[in-house]
Amino acid sequence: MGVSIKGKVSGTFMGKVDFRDYKTFLYGFGLLFILIVWLFMFSEGLSVHSLVKFVMLIILSYLAMVYDITTKRIPNWLVLVMAAGWVLIVIPVLFHNIENGTRIIVDSISGVLIGGGMFLLVYFISRKNLGGGDIKFMAAAGLYLGFSGTIPVMLYGSILAAGTGMVLIMFKVIKRKDPIPLAPFLFIGIIITLFTV
């Protein structure tokens, strides 16, 4: 789903380009990108828990981006897979170390509340100009990002989306009320956050 300067949800914001024609390329590029990220994270000596969590977040966020671009929506099943994946990651940690597992759960719930809550607030303030899929996606991403990671992702994503929208309007690629998808910018925000925070 997505957000625009004053618009609704959309997936084809680059003029008349239909990104559904490039779906195979998007998936292929995604596999290569995720492999590179995985190798980089592996070389950083992250714990198995963190490595699996971040790689899963990147994979599922990338899929959300592709769906948002090509179908103009983020499917509910993808959000449910994100939530279920997080549960599968956390359960072993909880059994191995209850204190550490509890801390992770509390932090993740904080991420859900801040991510889903703030986007839900924007949804009502903007008179439903923000897509419902974006709210659910950001809430699910908050599980992985926790409190400290969720806020910068929303800031990066929102700023990048607004900046891109203004540039496209400036060059008359879109009109002021034309929408652009938000998931691609949230994905970029996630990547930036994972490697900087």
pLDDT tens digits, one per residue of 152-161: 999 999 999 9
DSSP 97: -
Can you give the residue range of the structural domain that contains 160? Answer: 19-196
Q: How confident is the model at residue 131 (pLDDT cuts 50, 70, 90)?
A: confident
What does the block give as tokens for 136?
């659910």
SS3 content of the chain, % helix, strand, coil (to 5): 75, 0, 20
Q: Is the pLDDT of residue 135 over 80?
A: yes
The helix-helix angle for 132-170 and 48-71 (nearest 10°) equals: 60
User: What domain count does the chain have?
Assistant: 1
Rounded to a whole number of angstroms, the distance between the first and last alpha carbons of the chain is 26
Output the pLDDT for position 143.
96
Residue 14 domain-assigned (yes or no): no
Interior/surface letters 134-161, b for 16+ CB within 10 angstroms, e for the rest = bbbbbbbbbbbbbbebbbbbbebbbebb
Are 72 and 10 within 8 A, CB to CB?
Answer: yes
Residue 47 domain-assigned (yes or no): yes
Residue 96 domain-assigned (yes or no): yes
Output the pLDDT for position 188.
94
